[in-house]
Structure formats: structure tokens, C-alpha cells
Structure 1
Amino acid sequence: MEAWLGRKEEDHIVAQTPPLSNARAKWKAPPPQWIKCNTDGAWRKEHQRSRVGWISRDSRGKLLWAGVKDFQRVGSPIEAEAEGIKWATQSKRSLGYNQVPYETDSQVLARMITGQEVIWPKLEPVMQEIQHYLSENPGYKLGFIQGKEIRQQTE
């Protein structure tokens, strides 16, 4: 207790920010003739709202399509992520793309979609739609991305 009471506190502490190269994953291109679609979702508890987005690029990294959308009455961050993947797969299907690897930063969601984890009851309706879109097109793949490491969840 005396050690704690006699401690010397720093008056000025500067937070160190990691270099950008370590803070972000480097985007990896899809194979030629494919497009890659990255999805993400954000959620605000106080409003039960979310905003989701996706971006599609070709094998050269050229932006092809992107979308952002607000959703009402979304109950959690994982629901927002799921809505983003659902909307992205619907969009690519309607645009006629057949060879699309999708990437999400939600490992739990990716594991549920690929059957590696039990689907939460609240997510079942949206998960059925996502699984339908992914299963009807063998060129649609779902991957999980974290930091610099990309793990393909389906083959």
C-alpha cells in the first residue's frame, strides 16, 4: 500500500501510434477475371441503427463498385456485419458477377456462414439469405481478414 501511495505519476504522457504499415492489412488482389468485395458494418447502440458498406475492385485494384447504406432496428454489431454481407452478395448477383471472393473482418460471422460455428437464433433469417446467395454460385467465396493475415474460409 505504501508503494502505491508513494508512486510518482507522469504529468505528460504521449500515446505512441503504430506506423500505418503495421496498423492496416495490405489489400490482396483477386485472380484475373475476378473481382474482390470487402464488406464492413458499424452499429450505434443508442439509436439501434447501423451503416454498412462494401467496395469491389478488380485484380489491378481498380474500384468498380461501392455502396453504403443505413439500416434501422439493428440490434448488434454482428447483425450490422451480416446485413453488409447480405447486401453485397445481392448487389454482385444483380450486377451479374459470378467470381467474387468476399472478405469480412468478423471472424465469428464468417465461421457461422461457413458452418464452422452454430448460427445464433437472431441471425438465422439473414444467414439463410447469405448462405443461399453463396451456395447458388460456386464462384462466390467468403473469407475472413484480420490485420495482415487473410484466411480463406471456403474452397
Structure 2
Amino acid sequence: MRTEVEISWKPPPPEWVTLNSDGSVLTDSGHAAAGGLIRDHTGRCLTAFAYNLGACSITRAELRGAVEGLQLAWNMGYRRVNVELDSLCSVHLLTSNEHRDHQHAAIIDRFQDLTTRD
């Protein structure tokens, strides 16, 4: 049974920005990319980004999009960043401490380091 769910972007509170990132992998070549954008509370796009990742898994592409986007927000001076991803697997990896032996542990550690900075 198929259920349709309407999804819409919700702006962050004033003084916050939202990072929306995503990753993709072409099934025939394995070529991957990650990208996203950062928007303010009015919905205005502050910046957008895209990275060619070569060949990698979809999980790695999703994680790289989140990390690169968060680093970009930090470099732009934003300290209150709402991160939105469409990958439940990536969200779980980034928000739990169960990744120590995971093949993407270094990327996850980098993300968690960015979220704990002053």
C-alpha cells in the first residue's frame, strides 16, 4: 500500500539558518556527488554548494554533504545551524555514538566536532 505524504520546508527561527544537503550516486558508474544550500529564516538562499566525490557509497555521499555544508556554514560565520537530511541512516550515524567501528567514522567525527564548537 502506498501512502503519500506532503512535505514542505519550514524556516528556522530568526538568527538561525537551515542547511539542506543531499548526496547521490549514479547506479551505472558509481559516480557520486553531494550538495545543498543554506537558507535564512525568510527562506532566502544564502549560498549553495556541490562537490564531485568520485566513486563512493550513497551513505558516504550523504555524510559528506552534511559535513561540507556544516563546515561552509561555520566558515560563513553561522553558529546556529539546523541541519536537514533525507537519509535516516545518515541521521542515525551523525546523532549516535555507535559509529566508532563504522567505515565512515572519520567523517562522522568531523561532523560531531563541528556541532560541539563554541
Per the normalisation by structure 2, the TM-score is 0.87
Q: For residue 47 of structure 1, what is the aligned residue in structure 2?
A: 29
Q: For residue 115 of structure 1, what is the aligned residue in structure 2?
A: 96
The more displaced of 26-35 and 128-137 is: 128-137
The runs of 4+ residues in structure 1 deviating greater than 4 Å are none
SS in 2 for 1:51: strand
Identity %: 24
> How many corresponding residue pairs?
115
Letter of the 1:41 counterpart: G
CA deviation map 1:84-139 (0-9, x unaligned): 011001111111111110100111111111116x32621111111111111224xx
SS in 1 for 2:8: coil
Find the structure with the greater CA-based Rg: 1
- Distance across 1 between alignment mates of 2:27 and 2:96: 28
Q: Which residue of 84, 100, 110 maps to 1:103?
A: 84
Higher RCO, Cα 8 Å, sep 6+: 2
Per the normalisation by structure 1, the TM-score is 0.67
What do you get for the CA RMSD once the two structures are aligned?
A: 1.8
Unaligned runs of 5+ in 1: 1-17, 138-155
1:24 deviates by: 4.9
Unaligned runs of 5+ in 2: none
